[in-house]
Structure 1
Amino acid sequence: MHPTLTGFDYRRVDVAEGVALNVAVAGTGRPVVLLHGFPQTHLMWRHVAADLATDHTVICPDLRGYGDSDKPREDGPQTYAKRTMAADIVTLARRLGHERFALAGHDRGALVAFRAGLDHPAAISHLACLDVLPTLDMWDALRGTTAAVGFHLYLMAQPPGLPEWMITATADAFFGHFLDQWAGDPRAVPAEVRAAYLRACREAVPSIVADYRASAGVDVEHDTADRAAGNRLAMPVTVLQQDWGAALGYDAAALWRSWAPDLRHSTVSLGHFMAEESPTDVVKALRDLLAR
């Protein structure tokens, strides 16, 4: 028995041929969908989701390839393209009865949310992205020795075979490294939740690698095409971010503003797992966003 979101109902929802997502749902009111990051599952939203569910319908899925959602075999770059994963989320919301909804994502989930905002502007009323840069900007920002912080991005960008083999051989150490190094407060991820994250990642190495591999290929192509066409996010956008810019030498707010005209960007003194470390701050930011 692994942890679940207290007070949430669980179900499996078909979102594509052969792909069903594990999703937790609670509350009533305007819908909010929360997308988790790496190396986590929907459990990362446990504190934030409980608060929002007091007056919103809150929907917390595991992304395709993660947690207890289906993990289709990587048949090509489109299988785990953020465009495909974003379409999953729009379909999920519609099958739960919501044509339009607010969307918040952390880390990998924020990249899916970003793509959903560009591809499905009529469906996304508000957008929040936690501690990430858009894919195209992320690759541009990583250079020289500072790029060592993103070693996993380069490892998982390699052709199928070697990265899966290496990570499978050391799965708990590999995924545990990020839980340890990225946490501003180690107490934010208790032992039972950490164990659930490691179990979920251990069982999903090929699909996690495929997700990252897509971000070094097809996702860059999609972002590049949108930038060339001048496509931008039409909805109110909130971004919470650690001060990466000072460390890596770029202006994170300016990068985000090029995509999001209606932007509120905040630099926060928190670790990467901010929704677990300081849910009060994240809830406030999301509620402020929903009021715009």
Structure 2
Amino acid sequence: MAALFNGTREHRHRGKEAEIFALVGGEGPPLLLLHGFPQTHAMWHAVAPALMEQFTCVMPDLRGYGASSCPPNTSDNSAYSKRAMAEDMVSLMDSLGHSRFAVVGHDRGGRVAYRLALDRPEVPTCLCVLDIVPTSVMWREFTVDFAMKTYHWLFLAQPAPLPEMLLEKAPVAWIDYTIASWSKAKDLSAFDPRALDAYRESFAPPAHIHAMCNDYRAGATFDRAADEADRAADRKIACPALALWGDMGFPSETSGPLDTWRDWCEDVAGAGIDAGHFVVEENPTETLAHLMPFLRRYAG
């Protein structure tokens, strides 16, 4: 991974429940970059050089992913909730001397990012979510066609050991098929082979497969309930927000991603990007074109 991220250093932080691995590089206001499933911090390689010219970038692996630890789950799935993962990130950034920071998250990392903004409104200077709508909205808007496209939400959330038992038989083949199927081109052509190797290596160990399934189990239970509680209380994200999504990504299948985020944020803008789900790797140029002006305005 060093070849993908010149000018960075490794940082390991032992929190209350998990040890978090991160790469840190660049100069300027702090910027937390959170990856999605089934990825690691490696997903940021195409945009990190430009971001590190103006920001101090912190690129961790979420608990259960990459080089971070896989703590045991709890009966209510709270150990893999986005609330717990958000607290990991607040603790990580505090260990680096950052009490306030900008946060950008893709996929599962986006869910951690918006949960952080809701639970700890004093922390983020601004928020950007990439190719997601809130978890409770996803569950509510499942149609037959949408569920077929996002079958992993239902599959990975099944009780142990069903998904683990099946995934352990062919983890690399499943990862390659899944990533390709979510891209606009329906193949792996947009992905750096070194990043793909990192995703395969991270996913293959049984402990990581189990942890990632727990992530989705939390999504179906704890995270959904947390979202519903926020909506019932009319609690909204207070910091400036930006929502970006792939024109052929998951949010494009819902009833309007920007309109959805307007219900959840006090101040939000958004745009579609010519990409599938993996907007950062499929179209880094357009992603940066939207992201950089937003961060320059609000991250400092």
TM-score computed with the length of structure 1 as normaliser: 0.95
Q: How far does residue 247 in structure 1 lie from its aligned partner after superposition? A: 6.2
Change in 2 beyond 3 A, CA 1:116/1:247: closer
Is 2:259 aligned against 1:254? yes
1:215 paired residue number: 219
2:279 paired residue number: 274
Q: How far does residue 2 in structure 1 lie from its aligned partner after superposition? A: 7.8
SS in 2 for 1:257: helix
Is 2:116 aligned against 1:112? no
Is 2:200 aligned against 1:198? yes
C-alpha contact (below 8 Å) 1:245/1:252 kept by paired residues? no
1:21 paired residue number: 20
In the alignment, the residues of structure 2 paired with residue 4 and residue 151 of structure 1 have an alpha-carbon distance, to the nearest angstrom, of 31
Find runs of 4+ consecutive structure 1 residues off by over 6 angstroms.
Answer: none
C-alpha contact (below 8 Å) 2:246/2:252 kept by paired residues? no
SS in 2 for 1:23: strand
1:95 paired residue number: 95
2:235 paired residue number: 231
Change in 2 beyond 3 A, CA 1:183/1:225: same
1:153-185 C-alpha deviation (Å, 9 max, x unpaired): 101111111111111112112111122112235
Which piece of structure 1 moves more, 23-32 or 141-150?
141-150
C-alpha contact (below 8 Å) 2:128/2:241 kept by paired residues? yes
2:48 paired residue number: 49
In the alignment, the residues of structure 1 paired with residue 176 and residue 250 of structure 2 have an alpha-carbon distance, to the nearest angstrom, of 25
Q: How far does residue 287 in structure 1 lie from its aligned partner after superposition? A: 1.7
SS in 1 for 2:59: strand
C-alpha contact (below 8 Å) 1:35/1:113 kept by paired residues? yes
1:34-72 C-alpha deviation (Å, 9 max, x unpaired): 000111100100121211111211100000000000111
Equivalent of 1:288 in 272, 283, 293 = 293
Task: Give the 5 Å matches for 1:17-166.
Answer: 17=17, 19-76=18-75, 77-166=77-166
SS in 2 for 1:187: coil
Percent identity, aligned pairs only, is 36
C-alpha contact (below 8 Å) 1:3/1:196 kept by paired residues? no
Letter in 2 for 1:256: W
In the alignment, the residues of structure 2 paired with residue 256 and residue 86 of structure 1 have an alpha-carbon distance, to the nearest angstrom, of 19
C-alpha contact (below 8 Å) 2:273/2:286 kept by paired residues? no
Unaligned runs of 5+ residues in structure 2 are: none
Change in 2 beyond 3 A, CA 1:2/1:197: farther
Superposed CA RMSD = 1.7
C-alpha contact (below 8 Å) 1:127/1:238 kept by paired residues? yes
C-alpha contact (below 8 Å) 2:31/2:57 kept by paired residues? yes
In the alignment, the residues of structure 2 paired with residue 158 and residue 177 of structure 1 have an alpha-carbon distance, to the nearest angstrom, of 20
Unaligned runs of 5+ residues in structure 1 are: none
Q: How far does residue 250 in structure 1 lie from its aligned partner after superposition? A: 1.1
TM-score computed with the length of structure 2 as normaliser: 0.92
In the alignment, the residues of structure 2 paired with residue 140 and residue 3 of structure 1 have an alpha-carbon distance, to the nearest angstrom, of 42
SS in 2 for 1:25: strand
SS in 2 for 1:104: strand
In the alignment, the residues of structure 1 paired with residue 209 and residue 83 of structure 2 have an alpha-carbon distance, to the nearest angstrom, of 21
Q: How far does residue 30 in structure 1 lie from its aligned partner after superposition? A: 0.5
Q: How far does residue 192 in structure 1 lie from its aligned partner after superposition? A: 2.4
In the alignment, the residues of structure 1 paired with residue 252 and residue 183 of structure 2 have an alpha-carbon distance, to the nearest angstrom, of 17
SS in 2 for 1:71: coil
C-alpha contact (below 8 Å) 2:46/2:281 kept by paired residues? yes
